[in-house]
Amino acid sequence: MRQPRSTAIAVVAGLLAVALASAVHGQHYDAFYVLPGETGQTGAEVGLVNADVGSLGDATSLPMVGKYSISDDLEVGLRLDVGTLTAGAGSLSRVQAGAKLGLAPATALTAAALAPVGDADDAGLSVGIMHTVEVRAVPVNNWVQVGLLDGYTGGAGVSLSLLVEPAVEFGDRVTTYLDLAASTNTDGLSDHLAVNLSPNADYMFSERLAVNAGLSLGLAGDMKQGDLGITAIGLISF
C-alpha cells in the first residue's frame, strides 16, 4: 500500500469527473495520492477513468502520466488525458504538469498547471497539501487543493477540493481504499458542491508493477457524479 517515502508502487483510482476540472484529482498531474518517492525513481501510469458505466465509449478518459523523483523530497510529473472515448473531446483533451515537495515523512505540498491546449481554453493553477494520519492504526490520506485561474475554476471564484482516503491492507498484495472526495467553488458553495465516493483496491504483481480497479458514484450535491463509474489504472516504476 502507499506509505510515506515507500519504494513500493502505490496505486489508487482517482475520483476523476471526466468533464469537471473541480474534481480533486482533476487539479493535479497525479491521479493518485502518493507522496514523493526516492531519488531517481521513475513511474508511468496508464488506464481509464469512466464516469458512466453505461456509456464506456462516450464518458471515458484515458490518462497517461509520467513522473520522476529529482530528490527524496521533490517529484515532477506530466499528465496527458486522451479524449478519444469522451463525447465532444479531442484526441488530446488536457495537458497538466506539476510537482510535489515533501515537508515531512507524511506531508507534502503539491502544485500543478493546466496548459491552455486541447479542450482546455484557459490555463489553470492549483496548490495543495497532502498529509497522512493514523486513526486507530488505519492510515488515512488527506489532500486539500485550491484551484486558481479560469482553467480550474470555470471562470469564477476559487475551486476548493478535499480527498479523505482510509486504506486497509490484506496480506502483501492487496490494499483496499474508500475514497471520499468533495469539491466546490467559492462563487456558490452549494451550487457547485460535489461529494463522490470511490471504493477501490490495489493488486501488487511485484514491487514494480501494480493495478488498481474500482467504482465511483455520486453521494451529494448538485455537481455530484450522476452515474456509476469505473476505473482501471496500472502503474510501473523503474
CATH of the domain at 31: 2.40.160.40
Q: Is residue 10 part of a domain?
A: no
CA distances to 22, 197, 217 from 181, rounded to whole Å, are: 11, 6, 10
- DSSP at 29: S
Report the predicted TM-score, pTM, of the whole model to 2 decimal places.
Answer: 0.88
Q: What percent of the chain has pLDDT over 70?
A: 89
Would the pLDDT of 219 be above 60?
yes
Q: Is residue 148 part of a domain?
A: yes
User: What backbone torsions phi and psi does residue 53 show, to the nearest 5 degrees?
Assistant: -65, -20
pLDDT at residue number 209: 96
First to last CA, the chain: 17
Which pLDDT does position 32 carry in this prediction? Answer: 85
Mean pLDDT over each residue of the chain, to the nearest integer: 89
In a domain, 1, yes or no: no
Query: What is residue 31's predicted lDDT score, i.e. its pLDDT?
Result: 79
Q: Give the pLDDT of residue 156.
A: 93
Give me the pLDDT at residue 7, please. 32
Residue at 20 is within a domain = no
List pLDDT tens digits, range 76-117: 999 999 998 988 888 899 999 999 999 999 999 999 999 999
Question: Residue 26's pLDDT is what?
Answer: 73
Q: What is the pLDDT of residue 88?
A: 84
Domain count, the chain: 1
3-state secondary structure of 53: helix
- pLDDT, tens only, 224-233: 999 999 999 9
| Run of H or E residues at 150 | helix 149-153
- What percent of the chain lies above the pLDDT cut of 90? 81
Residue 230's domain comprises: 25-237
Does the structure show a pLDDT above 60 at 1?
Answer: no
> Which DSSP helix (H) or strand (E) runs through 104?
strand 92-104
In a domain, 7, yes or no: no
> Does residue 6 belong to any structural domain of this protein?
no
Rounded average pLDDT over 163-184: 97
- What is the rounded distance in angstroms from the CA atom of residue 78 to the CA atom of residue 28? 9
User: Rg of the chain's alpha carbons, rounded to an integer?
Assistant: 16
Is 13 within a domain? no
Residue 9 falls inside a structural domain: no
